[in-house]
Amino acid sequence: MPVYFLKNFNLLRMPGFKMIGFGIVLWMSWCMWMFPPRCFAQADTDRKFIVVLDAGHGGSDVGARGSFSLEKNVALAITLKLGQLLEQTQPDVKVVYTRTTDTYPALYERADLANKVHADLFISIHCNSMPYHRVLVGHRYVKRNGKRVRVPIYKMVRSDTETGTETYVLGLHRMGQKTQAIESEMEADSNDVEARENAYIVHEKNYQQNYGGFDPSKPETYILLALHSSAYLSQSIAFADSVEQEFKRVGRPSRGVKQKGLAVLAGTAMPAVLVETGFINNPREEKYLNSPEGQLEIAQCIARAIEKYKQAVWKYRSLVNTVHESFATDAPATPVYRIQLLVSSHYYQPGDRIFQHLGMPVDIEDTTINQQKAYRYLTGRFLQRDSAEQKLDFVRQIGFKDAFIVVYQQGSRVNP
């Protein structure tokens, strides 16, 4: 259901819109669980839709190599064309670049920039490449402990016939199966995008501090990263699917939407995707990726997907504003369920690191415990207790073990 909701970009088909009164209330409570808080902000008609465009790699990180070109340069060229196209055709979009020259911003800096400008969408542009693998080409004899031993001879080769596009979102990696599933998925995937895109992290200064202990060689790392952006997964998948549909429309082979533990996506507090625009180690695709016509076609496909997604978001925010107004009128009779995260004598800012995985705004109430000033930290506003309980499970999973539900009515706390 959540994927269908934005995937088809037709919000009025949702059953909640065919009912009035209580039906709208039920639909809104479902959305409060499925959609991050930014979707519920009052729509600012003067505010532009902010898209952060990230040209993959850069500087000393060249990315994948073709026979005559480098991924970092192709990604930058496509990114700049996409940005120019958006500025020319979609005046309600503000474009922010993570880089416009041959430099290497650290992956966490790219995500931090997107968060700082309060982006609505983060798009990282890349080129694909098949990895090298060993092929047995023969045998030879060597002496070991005075005996002739037959040993294999291997050659490192890679396929140069793979074609098509892929769009990645941050992978949840089937949380119930955890590490075992992740390891088997990695082994089964001959095109190891995770390893390639995350590998350069270890060359960044203080990478362990900047990525909170991220180690691209450890599969359990991806479990932690997946939790960070789970609130935006449904929107990311919807947008990624739209990108791949646009590629199909112009005849590009689509390899579909996939999930991987990509660090550049994990730190973003908004829907985020990584687009693999083609295989740079395929001679025919390399020519296409480097041609002005090919780069423009790729940019146009992504721009059309942005336009569809943006219109869905604007329509949704407008509807939420209307419902907010009706709720405000009836507020005295409507109980609201909230989640209390913790009570502490220490004052935390709503944007502090302790709350970074929530994906929801945090409110602070003053209180007194043992005649000393303390602070209650609350999140979420739900019209149905079931919705609050579902969100409470997630809140406890990310570290707020003592969180519980409280009820408010007429703006006052009903239970302690």
Per-residue model confidence as pLDDT tens digits over 156-207: 777 778 899 999 998 754 322 222 322 333 333 334 554 444 444 444 455 4
Count of other CB atoms within 10 angstroms of residue 92: 13
DSSP 61: B
DSSP state, 383? S
The yes-or-no verdict on residue 353 having pLDDT over 80 is yes
The domains spanning 2-129+163-317 and 335-413 adopt the same CATH topology: no
Q: Which architecture does CATH list for 335-413?
A: 2-Layer Sandwich (3.30)
User: How do the domains of the chain map onto residue ranges?
Assistant: 2-129+163-317, 335-413
What CATH architecture does domain 2-129+163-317 belong to? 3-Layer(aba) Sandwich (3.40)
Average pLDDT, the chain: 76
Query: Residue 323 has what pLDDT?
Result: 54
What pLDDT digit, counting tens, does each position of 387-413 carry?
889 889 989 988 899 999 999 887 788
The pTM for the full model equals 0.59
Three-class SS of residue 412? strand
Is pLDDT at 15 greater than 60 in this prediction?
Answer: no
Percentage of the chain lying above the pLDDT 70 cut: 69
Is 318 within 8 Å of 43 (Cβ atoms)?
yes
Per the CB < 8 A criterion, the answer to whether 393 and 400 are in contact is no
* Residue tagged 């990108």 (tokens): 243
Under the banding of pLDDT at 50, 70 and 90, the label for residue 224 is: very low
DSSP 206: T
Residue 40, pLDDT > 90, answer no
* Spatial separation of the C-alpha atoms in residues 358 and 399, rounded to whole Å: 10
Query: Does residue 295 contact residue 78 with C-beta atoms inside 8 Å?
Result: yes
Give the model confidence (pLDDT) of 253-291 as tens digits. 999 999 887 888 878 888 999 999 999 999 999 999 999
pLDDT over 90 at 248, yes or no: yes
